[in-house]
Amino acid sequence: MAKPEKAGTEEPLVVPFAAPTDRADGTTPAASTEELAGVEAARLCDDKYFGGAGLDSPAAKGLLGGKGAGLVTLARLGLPVPPGAVVTTAACEAYTAWRDARKGEPEAPPHDDIASPASAAVADGSNGGAAPELAGHCLPAEVWMEVLRGVRSIEWAHGRMLGSLEYPLLLSVRSGAAVSMPGMMDTVLNLGVCEANVGALGPAKFGWDCLRRFREMYGSVVLGVPRDAFERECDAAREAAGGVATDAELSADQMRELAARQAQVIKAHGCCIPDDVYEQLAQSVAAVFRSFQGSRARTYRRVHGLTGLRGTAVTIQAMVFGNRGGDSGAGVAFSRDPASGERGLYGEWAANAQGEDVVSGTRTPLALQDLRARLPRVYARLRECCDTLEAHYKDMQDTEFTFEEGTLFMLQTRAGKRTGRAAVRIAYSLVKEGIIDQTEALMRVEASHVEQVLMPSIPLATTQTQSYADAVIAKGLPAGPGAAVGKIVFSSAKAEELAAQGVPVLLVRTETSADDIAGMAAAAGVLTARGGVTSHAAVVARGWGKPCIVGAGEISIVPETEATDGPASSTPVAAAGAQGGIEIGTSTQTHAAAPAGLGSASAGAPGTSMVLRITAQKDKANRGAPLSTKTDAGSAGAAGGAEDASAMCDTLFLAEGTTLTINGTTGEVLLGGTHGVCAAHTTHELDTLLEWADATSSLRVLANADTPEDALAARAHGAVGIGLVRTEHMWFASPQRVAAIRRLILEGAFEGTDSHDVDAKVPKEGDQQQKGASAPPPSATPPAAVDVAAFQRSDFRAIFEAMSGLPVTIRLLDPPLHEFLPDVSALDDRGERGDTIRKQYMALARAMSLPYELVTQRARALAERNPMMGLRGCRLGIMRPELTAMQATAVIEAACDASEAGFTPMPKIMVPLVSCTEEYAHQAAVIEDACNAVLQRRGFLRATRSHSSAAGDGFVPAGATAEDDDELAAEARRELDEASEKPCLSYDVGVMIETPRAALIAAELAPRCAFFSFGSNDLTQLAYGFSRDDAQAGFLASYVEKRLLAHDPFVSIDKAGVGRLIWWAASAGRAANEHLHVSLCGEHAGDARSVAFLVREARLDSVSCSPARVPATRLAAAHAEILAARENGTTGPAAHSAVVGVGV
């Protein structure tokens, strides 16, 4: 075989494959022949090119693509697979380089320069021309010659010839990258058919059907003719045939006429299909190569974070025909249910159809159980093949199949896309069935799968209520579990536009195509009128964990005129109300205006607004709920009210922008958005899987929690402590708390002034400002501090009790003080906003018994030009030490309260935004003085570090249960009580590493600290010099798109920069203090890629993320440990004593 020009490589450009008995005469090809039979080619590919790693290895899939590797495997297993040849990713790379080098040159010579048109093929079975080598001008010569050799092997195995008029071979040309990207790249089917050989294919209707399908796909994929133009002709043909539902119901003459009209569509767009079948093949291969760089594929890779792919392989394969009659068909089969994970054959099929009809969603297929009833022998053979494949791959398989006149052929196999719930159940079941071990099960489940299991849903009890039933307006096939609420939009562009504005949307389409990928990514959920659970919409949404309903036959997207032209007595009209509700009227009424940005011509003819039509079934009992036109809460009904609207009509019209709810678990579509959507609960399988993860990982996963409710949720999700309590978040819990903290902030400003009768001087609303008034003298403890300390003490105690026996890390006040005050910049505004702000300051002045002018002067003095770099964090505590002392006092008072109540508090106090050792030393001294004063007054003895070591510094062993926690805590307390007659309480003081300087002086800080905790959000901002909010709203997406950055550094840790700072500080800190506990509490703690770095390279002891992300982070930590162990050839958690450098 010809090799790529790249020196030193032995990668093949084309790899043929065939099942051992695929020749038309039933004989087995000899493996020693020049053309190479598929089994031999697969063996050579396996042993020679992948070092014996096998076709399941990443190297094999990287070269052959996932689809190609699967087909070669099918052939090797002896399963029925049509012969074919894989044009490898090495060929794709060669094509891309060759095409880039030829930019500016004509892509192809004129068609009449081609020497061998298929129409000139001789009737003796020649393959369509004397010089096929001349047809490959759109591909590099070495690639084309290997493609021709692959075609020869297919002809030889199948007994038919490409371009022959008597024994024509028809080919499929399909994409297949190393990672599955369903529907994102292009396919051409039925290549090799022409008007001269349709009669040799069999029945006339079948031949013309193949020709019109080829013209549609070649025209849209290779020539760029809009697919809608072909669809309109199909719609017209079905209408002319009496309104038949599918193309399969057309007669032979009607199919021939349709094929002719498809040719006219191509001609009308200034294009033509070349006569030479080999040029068709070369152009099709080139088009599939190019589709890897198409907008759909690029968007899919961006959404999924796929990088480093070499391109796409192209599979050229002999066609088998599911559209040959009633005993033929095509479908998709899963070896287990991809939605629930239940064991058993699951999928869909369509009779007298090709596979594209099923996966594209243009036909609403039948369930596989129907195939079992109609064609039991085909079903039994399919089940046997799926069982063989699952046993081989040890994973749930997603297969495509076709059966022609009762004979089954397998066309594809791959690991099936599955919901999060199914992924967890399948991994757990495979362990229980003895197929895989616990480690492999953990690797089969992604962090996103865990999040999907815990995604919002509608409780079963709610779905059984009458109010829920009344709200159901349509039903389809449940394709993606969970529930979503949003405003309906009819185009991907509108979905992207509104989602970017923070508006939740539901993308509603007749059927989705790969062009809708960006809109699907932006939408909260997807609803389609056509398609099955294996259609494009279902596969993509299921992979993303998005709620999705497909095949909702009661809905259709129609021009608005259809809603206003019908009989007034039978057609209600629903339009988006002002509050997102629904207003009901008759067809003679004018639609209410849609929300801003909605209601445009997002579908249909230019300038035509579209609406969603929902047609009630005549037998509503079959649907399980009546057609309802009830309004959302707060929306007014019209034309007699909503209660009798369903009695007066059979059809409902909804304007774009109407709020709907979709229940992807049941397939129900509901009017409005108030249907009890709530967070899902965990499952036994997930709990067990996470126990395995904890036993695998040495990284402790804590949670960020600011309230007792957050703490309880964190513990329920398996957090082994609280890694970040943001004290300032408690201050916004009520107006009373906000008022107290505002008084505390402003009371410290009035030193050295005299007290007067301020009642007469505090202005009433509308009074002029008083000048020359003074404030009372300062006191050691400002009155407001007492109020603030009281509610903080209460909150801290509740958190300590919720996390008894586990560490709770409390960060001292961090944000600038002006953030807690009304916006002083609006004080000079003469408009409504200014009036509101002035009234707030007047009320604040009155509550403080201080002059309005002094209060506003102090507030203005606190404003900063760059507050995020100004007086905040430890700097604030240094300038206002009473704030630090107040908070430290509240922490220890709360800990003493909890201890006396029988709980085991483990407080850790964290100093934020430190840049030098002197700052930390100052704040640590204030904290120690305040805490020790409380302990002395309350009669407690502070425990030493050696005393607290019994509980592992608050971190329990991997896999420990709640009972273990209590035993460890009790043991620690017994040791402490034995050491003194006084009750003991331990606390630690540490530093939050948020500035690059703090990271660089970690060795100086560590001896003074009990712990480090990286605030990775601010550390990233300061390391890059970025403002996170401005950068993410502005240029970061462009940076990633242009590959200036590999990813958003606020989502995943920048290993080369911020990661190096973290690694350096952790390593230097541990070298200076062997007892130092090192953690991270930024948003990166919930990102799987960042967790992998923190485990494998930075070697942190713990991370802290939001409570909802704790389960996924526990799994991500286990993944990191497993991968590290595999690379090192060891088992078990990585040793944290190891020092691993960070590469640049």
Helix (H) or strand (E) holding 85: strand 84-87
Q: How far apart are CA 334 and CA 383, in angstroms?
A: 10
Q: Is 729 a catalytic residue?
A: no
Helix, strand, coil % over all residues of the chain, rounded to 5: 45, 15, 40
- Rounded Cα distance between 317 and 157, Å, is 11
Task: Answer whether 913's CB lies under 8 Å from 995's CB.
Answer: yes
Nearest CA among 86, 298, 260 for reference residue 181: 298
φ/ψ (deg, to 5) at 967: -65, -45
Catalytic one of 158, 449, 536, 1119: 536
Identity of residue 1002: A
Asked if 508 and 488 touch (Cβ cutoff 8 Å), the reply is: yes
User: Exposed (0-12), middle (13-18) or buried (19+): which is 100, by Cβ within 10 Å?
Assistant: exposed
SS (H, E, C) 478-520: EEECCEEEEEEECCHHHHHHHHHCCCCEEEEECCCCHHHHHHH
Assess whether 536 carries a catalytic annotation: yes
State how far the alpha carbon of 1136 is from the alpha carbons of 1009, 1098, 1141, in Å.
19, 9, 13
CA–CA dist 753, 819 (Å, integer): 26
3-state secondary structure of 1026: coil
158-162: long-range pairs with CB below 8 Å, 24+: 158/22, 158/23, 158/24, 158/82, 158/83, 158/318, 159/23, 159/24, 159/25, 160/24, 160/318, 161/125, 161/126, 161/127, 161/128, 162/127, 162/128, 162/192, 162/277, 162/278, 162/281
Cα–Cα dist 508/497, whole Å: 15
Give the distance between the most distant pair of CA atoms in the chain. Answer: 116
Give dist(CA 377, CA 676) in Å, integer.
Answer: 46
1038: exposed, middle or buried (C-beta count within 10 Å: 0-12, 13-18, 19+)? exposed
CA distances from 966 to 49, 307, 902, 943 (A): 56, 46, 12, 18
User: Which residues pair with residue 477 across a beta bridge?
Assistant: 550
Type of residue found at 790: A
46: left (phi > 0), else alpha (psi -120 to 50), else beta? alpha
Q: Single out the catalytic residue among 1081, 1084, 1105, 1119.
A: 1081
The residue written with tokens 């770099």 in the block is 869
Structure tokens at 865: 């030009």
Structure tokens at 713: 């949720």
Nearest to 86 by CA among 29, 22, 36, 12: 12
Instruction: Enter the DSSP assignment of 1057.
Output: I
Q: How far is CA 454 from CA 680, 683, 1041, in A?
A: 5, 9, 31
Residues with catalytic roles? 536, 1081
